[in-house]
Amino acid sequence: MKDSPAKVFKKACKQDLFSLAPMAGLNFEAEYVDSFDVLKVFAAHGVEFLLSSQGKVPLLDCNGKIICLFFSANWCRPCKLFIPHLVDLYETLRKRGVNIEIIFVSFDRDEDGFKEHVESMPWLAVPFDVNLHRKLIDRYRIDRIPSFIPLCSDALTVDEKVIEWIEDYGADAFPFTKKRHEELKDLDRRKREEVDLQELLTREGRDFLIAGDDRKVVVSELAGKTVGLFFGAYWSPPCRAFTVQLTDVYNNLNDTKGRCFEIVFVSTDKDLKEFNVSRTSTPWLAIPYEDRTRHDLCRIFDIKKIPALVIIGPDGKVVSLNGKFMVSSYGAEAFPFTESRVKDLESALRKEGEALPQQVQDVKHEHVLKLEMAKAYVCDSCKKQGKFWSFFCDVCDYDLHPSCLEKVNKD
Ligand SMILES: [Zn+2]
Ligand SMILES: [Zn+2]
């Protein structure tokens, strides 16, 4: 395998710094030389111990570990939002047996802020020393926080994105290289193109979804059904409105067509309490809140706004990413939510419109009414809901069902 120019350059630099390293096997060892390098910087500053929330840890304990530097501050909101992702990564990688250590370098304004910040981290910290911090910030050209510098790979050339990758992929982002990122994107693409519900909706140690009444339903029960992945949150009014429409469609389809349609709620609620309100007030299944799968599904299907409804057919193919539009426009009629079904509905609607007059006079209204397409209206004659074609007066904002029309007899 050929190294990128940046990597060749880096290796050359390392050779200079570590002329004592034996030439044979250097290419392999070069991957980890930076970790020794930073330990040397610490040692040169008289640092013998690093700090942890449990107390002091001898610097020597880091020998042989894959070291990542984490630049952060207690006062920084993006840092605080990122730390839970990093804690998850750190704990997961260590469980997987990766010999990784994260060392926090502080941007805190004072030692009190620093101490409080260290308390929130399960990894190590460089003791509070403004001069040493400055030196590390310069050395690794840190111009923003949070910054995460893995000293184990060629990630130095791509470090701007490392924070995002960790947020997106968690521990799977390791070892944070461009190559790894490409692999993960390919994997997402495959998961999107050949949906395997088992792979998509389960997680190590969990093969079930939870129902509103706390029942656990194994994912294999979804086989052969049309499945809608509903991305939503209770805090969002459009999601709450869509939930009402979707509940109608769900109940209607399951009453009339057997249990052919299932919804899996992928929550973006702010907390567990809110999630439980969402979950227990709806008739369908949900991914458990504490589970990373929620986050993975948002990424795999590139969900940018909620509500969103991804429809997966009984054959495991994504039928539509736009189920939200189909459900809110056509309700249960849109089933099985395929493009061809929607085309049929649209053409039937067009024909219906073509059969109606463009303008008309009704005995109940003084003005001429025009044929219009409306997403939803209330008929001013029968007071019932209407959808699509309406005879409309734009002077009075008057709507009339085509079926409620009583034409003025011109004779
Ligand atoms: Zn009416
Ligand atoms: Zn009018």
Q: Which residue has the higher pLDDT, 178 or 82?
A: 82
Give residue 396 CA to ligand 1 midpoint distance, Å: 16
Q: Would you say residue 290 lies in a domain? A: yes
Q: Are residues 96 and 139 in the same domain?
A: yes
Any domain includes 309: yes
Task: Say whether both 306 and 387 belong to one domain.
Answer: no
Report how far ligand 1's centroid is from the alpha carbon of 345 (Å). 22
Percent of the chain residues topping a pLDDT of 70: 88
Q: Structurally, how many domains does the chain consist of?
A: 3
Whole-number Å distance, alpha carbon 368 to ligand 2 midpoint, is: 7
Mean per-residue pLDDT, 285-299? 92
pLDDT digits (tens, 9 = 90+) for 324-368: 999 999 999 999 999 999 999 999 999 999 999 999 999 999 999
Where a domain ends, among 139, 157, 187? 187
Q: From the CA of 362, which ligand is nearest?
A: 2
Is 131 among the domain residues? yes
Inside any domain, residue 410: no
Mean pLDDT of 146-167: 74
Range of the domain at 326: 194-346
- Ligand number nearest CA of 381 is 1
Span 1-51, pLDDT tens digits: 344 433 433 443 333 333 333 333 333 333 334 666 888 888 888 899 999
Give the ligand whose atoms come closest to the C-alpha of residue 387: 1
Identify whether residues 75 and 143 lie together within a single domain: yes
Whether residues 61 and 129 fall in one domain: yes
Q: Which of 320, 346, 372 is the last residue of a domain?
A: 346
| pLDDT for position 4 | 43
Q: What is the pLDDT of residue 364?
A: 92
Distance 369 CA to ligand 2 centre (A): 7
Give me the pLDDT at residue 152, please. 66
Does residue 291 share a domain with residue 341?
A: yes
Q: Is residue 351 part of a domain?
A: no
Give me the pLDDT at residue 16, please: 33
Which ligand has the minimum distance to the alpha carbon of residue 398?
2
pLDDT at 287: 96
Please tell me the distance between residue 328's alpha carbon and the centre of ligand 2 in angstroms: 29
What's the pLDDT tens digit per position in 83-128? 999 999 999 999 999 999 999 999 888 899 999 999 989 999 999 9
Rounded to the nearest angstrom, the distance between the alpha carbon of 350 and the centre of ligand 2 is 25
Statement to judge: residues 239 and 146 lie in one domain: no
CATH of the domain at 137: 3.40.30.10
The number of the ligand nearest the C-alpha atom of 378 reads 1
| Model pLDDT for residues 163-194, shown as the tens digit of each residue | 988 999 999 998 888 888 889 999 999 998 88
C-alpha of residue 405 to centroid of ligand 1, in Å: 8
Does 170 fall in a domain? yes
Among all ligands shown, which has an atom nearest to the Cα of 386? 1
Do 37 and 175 fall within a single domain?
yes
Distance 348 CA to ligand 2 centre (A): 29
Residues 276, 154 share a domain: no
Q: pTM surpassing 0.85?
A: no
Query: pLDDT band for position 162 (50/70/90)?
Result: confident
Of 187, 221, 255, the one marking the end of a domain is 187
User: Same structural domain for residues 280 and 142?
Assistant: no
The residue count for the chain: 411
- Tell me, in angstroms, the distance from the centre of ligand 1 to residue 334's CA: 23
